[in-house]
Amino acid sequence: MRTRYAKGFVKCVVIIMATCLLGACTSPAYKTFSKEFQAYKALFIEQGRVVDTGNQGVSHSEGQGYGMLFSVVADDEKTFNQLWAWTKQTLQREDKLFHWRYVPCASGDKRCIDDPNNASDGDLLIAWALLRAADEWGNENFRQEAKAIILAMENALLYKLDKQTLLLPGEYGFVDKETSSVQVNLSYWVFPAIESVAKVSSRPGAWRKLRDSGIQLVLEAKFTQHKLPPDWLRIAANGLSVNETVNQEYGYNACRIPLHLAWAGIAQPQTYSAFNQWWQQDTTPATLNLVNGEPAEYQMTAGMQAVASAVTHLAYETPLEIDAISRKTDYFSASLILLSRMAVLDAGQ
């Protein structure tokens, strides 16, 4: 039997639905994210570029990818378009990958690029942001642009070593043919992005193998009594080491690894135990030297603390406690804060 509704009731439902679409029925977590993004935008985004305030005002592909992702989540299409336009015009190479760093200079254009190499985390983040933007705003051009980046990554950055598929940190400088070893950065395996990319790639199997290799390496790459993974890892036939790498620490790169795992719903308990024990200290150092075991003399940043809170919230259902972004927050900490909130939002919590 068909149910009849009064005209006033139908009109009320339509108004409520329209209001929800405009954002009034959003969750408290989403409202907090949107508010925090406004602070992030005011502090770090200038005319389409994300400024790394903790690193002499440079911009890099990582930051552009973060800014684009945050814009999509906050439903800020105008800011997204500005960020993507600057990124495409200033950082994108002819092969569709991105120069990794822009150092402000008088010309304010591509001539400010000081290194022709790319950074695969930035490439991956930008492609993921474009895919999410295509879904959010129905713009298929974004999806096609993402696919071009993904194809370029497949051609230049997915590297086979024995039976593993690895993600080169950049196109140049990370494969040592003399020792048959490869240097990688496990925080560049942004697992939720890899899963998203695999769905639109013509080579989904390669991305799934990349995902699996990343998880396995995180489980194996455990250094010192704390059993933490390094920022930079050398993979060779004789095993894993931090020898002759960019740095020999667990720190500002590797701190993202557990967030990427939890974000993708990778819920093996042993995956998080070492991180959780590290965070349980009365005062947790920001970094740890993985050769001599010496911790930093300063504690985790607000961004690192946000990661710890988000991961334990997702893995162990602990309360979520994340500091607000303020003028005292630098670019990287603010980015970690929004990434942590975004991971929780994506999990539907």
Q: Check whether 269 has a pLDDT greater than 90.
A: no
Q: pLDDT category, 11, cuts 50, 70, 90?
A: very low
Amino acid 265: pLDDT = 94
Residue 4 has pLDDT above 90, yes or no: no
Does residue 10 carry a pLDDT above 70? no
**Could you tell me the two tokens for 331?**
């670019």
**How many CB atoms are closer than 10 A to CB 349?**
13
Helices (H), the chain: 7-21, 28-44, 61-73, 77-86, 120-137, 140-156, 191-200, 204-220, 257-263, 269-279, 302-316, 331-346
Least confident segment among 21-35, 39-53, 286-300: 21-35
pLDDT confidence of residue 14: 38
Write out pLDDT tens, residues 78-114: 999 999 999 999 999 999 999 999 999 999 999 999 9
**Number of structural domains in the chain:** 1
> Is residue 38 pLDDT above 90, yes or no?
yes
Here the CATH number for the domain that contains residue 43 is: 1.50.10.10
Reading across the β-sheet that carries 233-236, which strands appear in turn? 175-176, 181-184, 233-236, 239-241
Residue pLDDT, tens place only, 158-198: 999 999 999 999 999 999 999 999 999 999 999 999 999 99
- DSSP labels for 28-66? HHHHHHHHHHHHHHHHHEETTEE-BTTTTTBEEHHHHHH
- Bridge partners (DSSP) of residue 98 are 92
pLDDT at 311: 97
pLDDT at 48 over 60: yes
Structural domain includes residue 77 = yes
Q: What is the pLDDT of residues 297-347, one digit of tens each?
A: 999 999 999 999 999 999 999 999 999 999 999 999 999 999 999 999 999
pLDDT score of 7 more than 80: no
pLDDT greater than 50 at residue 19: no
196 close to 140: Cβ distance less than 8 angstroms: no
Closest to 174 measured CA to CA, from 96, 118, 249: 118
Instruction: Tell me what the mean pLDDT of segment 261-278 comes to.
Output: 90
pLDDT for 267 equals 72
Which residue in 52, 76, 95, 121 is the catalytic one? 121
Q: Model-level pTM?
A: 0.92
Cβ atoms within 10 Å, residue 276: 17
Q: Which two tokens stand for residue 59?
A: 């911009």
Query: Is residue 188 in some structural domain?
Result: no
Token pair, residue 218, equals 């995180």
How many Å apart are CA 214 and CA 165, to the nearest integer? Answer: 9
Residue 257, domain member (yes or no): no
| CA 312 to centroid of chain Cα atoms | 18
66 within some domain: yes
Distance linking the first and last C-alpha atoms of the chain: 38
121 is catalytic: yes
Range of the structural domain that residue 89 is part of: 29-156
- H or E segment at 181? strand 181-184
Residue 136: per-residue pLDDT? 98
Which pLDDT score is estimated for 270? 75
Instruction: Tell me, yes or no, whether 143 lies in a domain.
Output: yes
Q: What does the pLDDT average to over 32-58?
A: 98
Looking at residue 22, its pLDDT comes to 43
Asked if the structure places residue 305 within a domain, the reply is no
